[in-house]
Amino acid sequence: MNVIPYLEFEPQIGSNVTAEDWVTIIGRAEIGAGCYFGKLATLRADGEHIRIGSECWFGDATTVHIADSVYGTRVGTHVSVGRYALVHACTIEDHCVLGEHAVVMDGSVVGPGAAIAAESVVPPGKTLEGGWLYAGVPAKPVEEISPARLAELHESVRNRAPIDNAEFLRARTPIGEFHRDPGTNVNAIQTDETYIAPTASIAANLKMAPYSSIWFSVEIDAEGANVEVDEASNIQDGSRIHLDRGETMRIGRRVTVGHNVRMHACEIEDEAIIGMGSIVGKGTIVRKGGVVAAGAVTAPGTEVAAGTIWAGNPARRSRPLSEENARFFSIGVDVYKGYTANYRAAQKAGIG
């Protein structure tokens, strides 16, 4: 387990906490007793607090993060979070279950004893009543859950066993599982201003421009392929990229690739946003300032028009990107530039 201070903040970890390989816990994290973290799980309490109650379970490659200086994250007691799921700047009350690849976004509250089905997305600012199963993008109530049914869901997520509920089975997705040991096997071109987190796993011909960054538990499976990340762009924790030999992915300037994204060979132009938990199909082009919404899935060959938001599965044009949204996303890029400088300085000092 990598326990990493951030600025003046040290993680606080309770008794009997179990962590598999390459788990990272950072900064203002407070972890209750008896919690479990699967391989490559990441808790990044850098810009705000993360508070986790006792007896919680986080599967492989789960990500818990915050909204810098805006929202922390609170997870209650006896919560189960499936593999590849994302808990972001939100509140998850006691006894909740999140299925694999589920996403809960900023400012949302998931009530006690609720379950979020695999591949589902809880949008920002939503409050979900406890005691229900929610599914879809956006997540909507499907059925009430009895205590016995809730216990079955916890058991299923923690044991990764199929259960008799289609919403909770892991959907087939364009990118399967791959877990290289963290580290790099790259022909890399970097500058002193870039940052690659120590639990990132990269096999690619990689070119990074100044102020760009690749974060914790990112997996780039692109041996014999080319990945270019231009100035001030970031690939956030838990994202997975797969390219076949000879393919190329280009990510332009000031691009954000959100947490737990899955991507094939594609082109992302300047100032674009790839939302949390989305899937970007092979041959997709996202034009300047285009947005792939959280949880969206672009079909192979999709072209996301400049300055527009695309949502759904398959992703379709939803609406133009507002000036307010564009300004907010630009602030997010600058926040990650700040993170890059801070983590880079700590790395040079031998911390993390």
The per-residue pLDDT for range 92-122, each reduced to its tens digit, is 999 999 999 999 999 999 999 999 999 999 9
**172 band by pLDDT with thresholds 50, 70 and 90:** very low
Whether residue 220 contacts residue 227, with contact meaning beta carbons closer than 8 Å, is answered with yes
Measured distance CA(103)–CA(340) in Å, rounded: 24
C-beta separation of 112 from 130 below 8 A: yes
Give the rounded percent of residues in the chain with a pLDDT score beyond 90: 87
295-346 tens-digit pLDDT: 999 999 999 999 999 999 999 999 999 999 999 999 999 999 999 999 999 9
Q: Is the pLDDT of residue 189 over 90?
A: no
Q: What CATH number labels 183-348?
A: 2.160.10.10
**Contact at 8 Å (CB) between 90 and 122?**
yes
Intervals of CATH 2.160.10.10 along the chain: 2-168, 183-348
Could you say which DSSP state residue 89 is in? S
pLDDT in tens, 35-57: 999 999 999 999 999 999 999 99
Give 2-168's CATH code, choosing from 3.40.50.720, 2.160.10.10, 3.40.1190.20, 3.40.50.1000: 2.160.10.10
pLDDT at 266 over 50: yes
Q: Write down the pLDDT at residue 168.
A: 46
pTM score, whole prediction: 0.94
Q: Tokens at residue 90, please?
A: 């939100």
The DSSP element (H or E) to which 187 belongs, if any, is strand 183-189
The candidate with the shortest Cα–Cα distance to 2, out of 20, 22, 18, 16, is: 22
pLDDT one-digit tens code per residue, 191-218: 678 999 999 999 999 999 999 999 999 9
Could you count the other beta carbons within 10 Å of the beta carbon of residue 70? 12
Q: What distance in Å separates the CA atoms of residue 119 and residue 136, rounded to the nearest whole number?
A: 7
> Could you tell me where the beta strands, DSSP code E, fall in 233-350?
234-235, 240-242, 248-251, 256-257, 262-263, 267-268, 273-274, 279-280, 285-286, 291-292, 297-298, 303-304, 308-311, 316-320
Rounded mean pLDDT of 153-174?
A: 62
Dihedral sign for Cα atoms in the order 32, 177, 183, 192: negative
Return the C-alpha torsion angle 55, 61, 66, 72, nearest 10.
0
Q: Write down the pLDDT at residue 165.
A: 45
